[in-house]
Amino acid sequence: MTDARSFIDVSADTARPATRDVILDAAERVVSRDGSGRLTIDAVVRESGFSKGGVLYNFPSKQALIEGMVSRLILQARTDCEAALDGAQLSGENPVAALIRAILAFKHANRDVAMALLAAAAESPELLDPVREMMARIREDVISRAPDPIMARIALLAADGLHLGDILGLDMITPDEQAAVEARLVQLVSEPAPR
């Protein structure tokens, strides 16, 4: 069994200066509202209210800005998963169900930014390498804790499919149907493995 925080790099710098966060917030608003193609240093300057020099001091290029957004998303995912595990331990909830629930909530909360980053990664696929690594660690941690590892893998794949369908605007199911499917995924990973 993997330690509760095995996928979390505890050496990662979790403190960020307020200026960087304000700039990243502005960048996220730009990509959420206008798309990644409109993410420019000048757009972030206008959105953030900082001078161009202030933005460039913190993020010397659009690539650095996108990398900052990716790093912050990874940190948020780690924090959300850690909180889910801590909450599960305190409440006695199944940790796999808690992690699946946290992953689904994270994907909903970060849909617009994820969509824009996916588009930006078309130009620079290596931007998604840290996301791939973090998701692989979370996935393996979830599977290692599951009473039925195959069902856990199915639930994770289904959650990814729902998320990608949403990002790509495929309108595969209604919001009510999606909520029901997600609730069933959480329930499925809590059931004992068939014999």
Note the pLDDT tens digit of each residue in 81-128: 889 989 988 998 888 888 888 888 888 888 777 777 776 677 778 888
- Domain presence at residue 7: no
Within 8 A by CB and 6+ apart from 193, the residues are 147, 148, 149, 150, 151
Within 8 A by CB and 6+ apart from 21, the residues are 72
- Domain presence at residue 144: yes
Q: Which domain holds residue 172?
A: 18-190
- Domain presence at residue 9: no
- Domain presence at residue 6: no
Tokens of 126: 């290596």
Find the helix or strand (DSSP H, E) in which 85 lies: helix 62-91
CATH code assigned at 109: 1.10.357.10
Domain count for the chain, please give it: 1
pLDDT in the model for residue 164 = 83
Share of the chain above pLDDT 90, in %: 23
Lowest mean pLDDT across 6-20, 40-54, 58-72, 95-109: 6-20
Tokens of 137: 């660690």
